[in-house]
Amino acid sequence: MQEMQIPSVYQLIRSFNRGEFRRKSIPQELVSGWPAIRRLGKTLCVTIPYYARGRAGDKTILYPLYCSATVPLGNPDMLLDYTVYPHQQGWQDLDWSKPVGSFPHEALAGIGRKEYQALCARLYDYYDEMVRAILQGKPFAAREEMGELFCRLMEPDQYPQYLRIDQRFYRFFCPI
């Protein structure tokens, strides 16, 4: 029996970000944030949030999450949902013209670019391990390790917006 090909979450996001929908519908100045893994019906999906950022001295300023796209795990060309948050009920309290925070945040103080990139790569490895566990119907053994790393990397000033997108996923894996 041939083993099922398990896609990489990072590669799926890269593929989606190079695709036609991203180019035509999501403003180019937006960058993708931390994805959520969720089921829509029987389909395992990735929800990719997007936000704007800018520079202020030696810091990167972060704006509220602006939109998200949800695609099936195995097909970055099939869009299942696209939501623009300024048009959604429950998001009217945010001002998308004003920053909500900055990067790097306190938990990343003293971390250089290469070390940060290595931490991000490790978090995406955890995403892949989690997806593999879900698809194989097995428990996800690295949940605590993923949670600790996720809490360190998550932008605390954007965290409340991430919870609005998928409270169950983000609160479970990043209980900050």
* pLDDT tens digit sequence for 23-81: 999 999 999 999 999 998 889 999 999 999 999 887 899 999 999 999 999 888 899 99
Q: Which helix (H) or strand (E) holds 169?
A: helix 159-173
CA–CA gap between residue 53 and residue 51 (Å, rounded): 7
Kindly report the pTM of this predicted structure. 0.93
pLDDT digits (tens, 9 = 90+) for 100-128: 999 999 999 889 999 999 999 999 999 99
pLDDT of 169 over the 80 cut: yes
Whole-number pLDDT of residue 65: 97
pLDDT at site 2: 39
pLDDT in tens, 4-22: 566 799 999 999 999 999 9
What 3-state class would DSSP assign to 63?
Answer: strand
The pLDDT value given to residue 5: 66
The first and second tokens of residue 7, run together, are 């896609």
For residue 3, what pLDDT is reported?
A: 45
E strand or H helix that includes residue 125: helix 113-136
26, 19 contact by CB (below 8 A): no
Task: Report how far residue 166's alpha carbon sits from residue 176's, in angstroms, rounded to the nearest whole number.
Answer: 15
Whether 135 shows a pLDDT value over 80: the answer reads yes
